[in-house]
Amino acid sequence: MSIQWSEKQQAVIDARGCSVLVSAAAGSGKTAVLVERLIRLLTDEKHPVDIERLLVVTFTNAAAAEMRERIGRGLDQKLLEEPDHTAWIRQKLLLPCAQISTIHSLCLKTIREHFEVLDLDPSFRLGDEAELKLLKSDVAEDVMETYYASENRAFRAFVDRYANGKTDQGIAEMIIALYDYSRGFPWPEYWLKHCLAAYSTDEEHNGADQVKEFAMMQLNNVLTKYLPLFEEARAFCLEPNGVEAYLPVIEDDKKWFQMLGESEDYDGSREILHKIVWKRLPRTAASVDPKIKEKVKEIHADFKSEIEGLRDGYFVHTFEELKAELTYIRPSVRMLIELTEVFGQQFMAVKNDRNMLDFSDLEHYMLQLLADFSEDEQGQMQVKPTSAADELSEFYEEVVCDEYQDSNQVQELILSLLSRERKGQYNRFMVGDVKQSIYRFRLADAAIFMEKYHHYALGESQKTRQRIDLSQNFRSRESVLSGVNYIFRKIMKKSLGGIDYDDQAALYPGMAFPEAKGKNIADNTELLFLKGDGETTEPDNESLDSVELEAKLAAVRIRELTDPEYGMDIYDGALGDYRKAGYKDIVILLRTVTGWAEKFVDVLASENIPSTAEMSAGFFDTLEIRTMLQFLAIVDNPGQDIPLAAVLCSPIAGISSEEMALIRSKHSEGSLFGACMACSEETPGAAKLKKFLAMFHDIRRASVYLELHELIRYIYDRTGYYDYVQALPGGERRKANLDLLRERAVAYAAGSYSSLFDFMRYIEQLKKNQIDFGEAVMPENDKGRVRIMSIHKSKGLEYPIVILAGLGKKFNFQDSISKLVMHAKSGIGLDAVNLQTRKKMTSAYKKFIAARLNLETLAEEQRILYVAMTRAKEKLIMTGMESLKNTDKKLEIWQRNSGILGEVFPDWMLTSARSYLDWIMPAVMNGEAENVVTFRMVDIRALAGREVGRVIDKKWQKEELLQRKHTLPDVSETDVSKRLFGEEAWQYPQKALLSVKGKYSVSELKKYAMEAIMEAAPAPGMALAEKQSETEEALPDFMKDKEADETHEVSNVGAFRGTAYHRALELIDFAGRPDERDEAWLRSQLNAMTSAGRLSGEQRQSIRIRDIADMVFSNLGLRMAEADRRHELYREAQFVMGVPVSALYPEVDSEETVLIQGIIDAYFEENGELILLDYKTDHVSKQDGADILKKRYKRQLDDYQQALEQMLQKKVRQKLIYSFALKCWIEI
């Protein structure tokens, strides 16, 4: 069935004879439209375009591969209709040769084809990112050494000003940073020259002019903000019970406000700012409404703070002083640029020696091939296309660029030179969405897209350049789009992000979801704000507990959404029908995964919600990589004590810490390796040490003739460590990490260096520069998991349910607070450092550049938020929290800002945001959003009541410890003690509650229930106290009963065996259980646990294989295995739940809550219901053992059932005990 394209989509597909810019909103089907357009070009009967003559540039290799595959499928479909169409057959055969690639792949191919023109060796290779970083560090050090040797005074002065204390490392970092940034421009040397020109006061529009213009704009923003606020403050003063005493102060503020508004130039405004004398707020009458008083006081304080911020920020100097400051800093800027240019030359020479290029070299060599550049008399660069550019532009019939909003200036110039536009033939086709431009850190320039967006004609009114907007969304429900549109109409405007979120930019529903009668489909977008009780004093909202609490909130909603009976129904296109949402349908999006994803995974796991997160870091922190790098370090140099000690104590050598101490104590002088070599055979651990040293010497000898990657493989095999890590938790990922280490060694050996010494230095430099490969990416064999990823990773993807978390996380303005700040148009900013006074001040020009960078950061954060919110197909849930100590104040500010009239928030409000909540909360708190965004404040205490065990445990630890404190009875009671503690003493009226602890284990409650069955019921509320006194009374050793000790030893043996059996059943791989009884398989499982250190040797010896086999190979063991293969078997599940005291003791009349804590041995899901399991090693007779166990553990399993049903909102269908004594399952 052919696709029904919308009118706008059809216009994109049919557009010919002009350059086209497609502004394709999220979910508008741009990829499908682009592919259809390409297929139509290839298969056009009248004017077909040969596939080799199409240039298609994509943002990633994955996108290029997908596009090639889609085109192939489209051609296959055409050939099904006309199998003998020779032209189409030819196009399909040529598809592998089509130029559908990233810009770097295009440059690489073109440069290799024209290597002789560029004087390049065609066998050049691309340098590894980490290798290039090391080279840059070395070259920067060489450059500085050369300048030190030359005794260059300007260089010495520069170092004195900008070095970090006693090290000049900061200088090298500045040089490398400026070099890297400059490579994002077509002519780096020209851009650096432009940077210096800003410090020349005789240049037009120099740095002082730019600071002046920006300062006046900032002043105007402040005045615009306070115009309505002063009227509001005045009205508050005149209200009944108003604060009239403050009116003169407000009027005085307004006077200064008006004077500043009437000032027309920079120096005049500066003079007024420095003249302002603030009046003090007087005392007020007792009858004044305190809320009104605080509001007026806050307006005055905020106005004063912002005006003083401007005065001390951009209006410190007169205009002449601004120019003088630039002149003073100019020599430092000139020296930094000189160092950067010399560095660039030497870095290129080093790369040439190694026949190596980096990605920026590909782009610049491509430009060198395509154009000659020269500077005209006005200092402007002139571009003259080369014959190669003419040849290539004639070859390509159309130049297509996907994700055009992420292009940089170099890439834009390359594509322009490859097109025919300079010849009057408009053959460019660009697709993108500026609202999704989120790669500024890669020097993507959204202004390139916006320049065309504003100048290309809509529709067909202009035949050379045409813009087509695709605003229909074929991904999401209207409820999702309504929330997105509402919020972005408020916060996205041209003055900040370069585009107004108007009717043309808004999203319109294009997806027709089938009717869902009787289904629980998604409703409004949700905003859930976590609010504390105002007494908690968290340091900030990113502390451990706050992240965990937000993860807990996500877990609560996930449980509700995936409830098999009451959960949400989603439409499954593959099924053609609705079904209940599952874990695989949910994604949690985070602004950054670092420091967040791990905690979300842990919290979800504690709630038995499976999840997966792809970490971008952590490779070097994994146990297996640390151990292997330490081993490589001692192979390179055994004289390193710390790595050697780590390897000796690892499973590779198996030396215990006690044995290590004895080895070292016998030979305390010299290196640890020397001590090991001198160790005698009588020393404990000598046999293990001798075996290790023999293996180690073999490996060192092999390292002389083995390649680096071969050596690593040899170490894996010789030590057995590669196989060992597979037996650890997460064994497959650990093995993949070791494979990745070997792959990195292969890539490294292909580079400039290849020795083990150089590789270890390379690794150390990676750590020093905080470069991390990230753990190995595992194929997702189990799709039934909640996915956790960064917003950047989610771009281009879609998910039925999106939970956008961490909205209170502060924006990162790091690039504006560095020692060196850089901006594409304004150049570079440095501090003003006076060597005579040893004072450093942030220069006005640096403040100006930093402010511009902050504005661009805010604009990109808006676009990142847009990307995140538009990933949802059916349901969008947003969560966030502020630092608890600031919550009330922030809520007041948001509430006040929500009352600002107008569809779009004013600039001052948008630019003052420091988190997504600063934009979203005012937008949803004014009541207008109630039909599109459901806003709820969630009390942290209410959330904690839903089994947030760790948070509650902190609260109760002290009380629990105090309750376990006992005092020996006084053997000589006095009359005073009788009066204090005897029958005459005053009796507390709620004495029953004194016996109630804050938290009980399920085992305790089971015990008390059993005793209540076996004995007569004691007085109400006193049973627990009496039993505690009987069982927990502290006695001196000499008073203890010897027979009781012997009984205790016997029970300890049983308890030890019980613990061992539980541990084994927790670790056994039920999913790999053979169909027939196989004790050898079970024995190998237990031995592997012991080898991996997960089961102690003593525990292993206490386990009788036949006991475990009877249980594992029972019929219920088979059901457990089947559940494990479905990933629905859960073992050792911890829980904490709150219950009223009256639920435990009906005779106690109290609403106090106590906690019940326990660990469920196992449970699994079967047909949407739960099967609860418990293992018992009690010694019971076969005659009445089953009845005894039922009575003994009924209360315990009832509590487990209550906990499971409360946590999972699912019914427990069966409760079973396995008795190892009876060798059977008993249903409770």
Cα distance between residue 35 and residue 95, in whole Å: 13
Residues 1033, 966 contacting (CB under 8 angstroms): yes
Residues 454, 846 contacting (CB under 8 angstroms): no
CA atoms within 13 A of residue 272's CA, in its CB half-sphere: 18
DSSP string, 1185-1218: HHHHHHHHHHHHHHHHHHHHHHHH---EEEEEEE
CA atoms within 13 A of residue 169's CA, in its CB half-sphere: 6
Query: Which positions ≥6 away from 1116 have C-beta within 8 Å?
Result: 1173, 1216, 1218, 1225
The b/e string for 840-871 (b: 16+ C-beta within 10 A; e otherwise) is: eebbbbbbbbbbbbbbbbbbbbbbbbbbbbbb
Residues in the chain, overall count: 1228
Give the C-alpha distances (Å, rounded to integers) separating 871 from 480, 525, 570, 716, 920: 10, 13, 15, 43, 17
Residues 486, 903 contacting (CB under 8 angstroms): no
Exposed/middle/buried for 25, CB within 10 Å: 0-12, 13-18, 19+? buried
> Considering Cα of 466, then 472, then 476, then 482, what sign does the dihedral take?
positive
Cα distance between residue 595 and residue 548, in whole Å: 11
Q: How far is it between the farthest Cα atoms of the chain?
A: 117
- Would the annotation count 949 as a binding residue? no
- Please, which residues bridge with residue 787 across strands? 587, 612
- Residue 473 belongs to what H/E stretch? strand 472-473
Residues 495, 888 contacting (CB under 8 angstroms): no
- Would the annotation count 599 as a binding residue? no
Three-state DSSP state, 400: strand
Cα distance between residue 436 and residue 26, in whole Å: 8
Instruction: State the CB neighbour count (10 A cutoff) for residue 137.
Output: 17
E-strand ranges in 217-317 read none
- Would the annotation count 24 as a binding residue? yes
Query: Which positions ≥6 away from 1001 have C-beta within 8 Å?
Result: 1156, 1157, 1158
- Would the annotation count 1158 as a binding residue? no
Cα distance between residue 1207 and residue 1165, in whole Å: 14
- State the Rg of the chain over Cα: 36
- Would the annotation count 1109 as a binding residue? no
E-strand ranges in 794-906 read 799-804, 821-823, 827-829, 832-834, 839-841, 872-881
Angle between helices 1042-1067 and 1105-1112 (to 10 degrees): 50
Reading phi first (left if > 0) and then psi (alpha if -120 to 50, else beta), residue 250 is in: alpha
Residues 589, 550 contacting (CB under 8 angstroms): no
Cα distance between residue 33 and residue 41, in whole Å: 12
Cα distance between residue 586 and residue 849, in whole Å: 41
Cα distance between residue 833 and residue 837, in whole Å: 9
- Would the annotation count 28 as a binding residue? yes
Cα distance between residue 463 and residue 967, in whole Å: 96
DSSP string, 841-867: E--HHHHHHHHHHHHHHHHHHHHHHHH
Angle between helices 478-491 and 917-924 (to 10 degrees): 110
Annotated binding-site residues for ATP read 24-31
Annotated binding site: 24-31
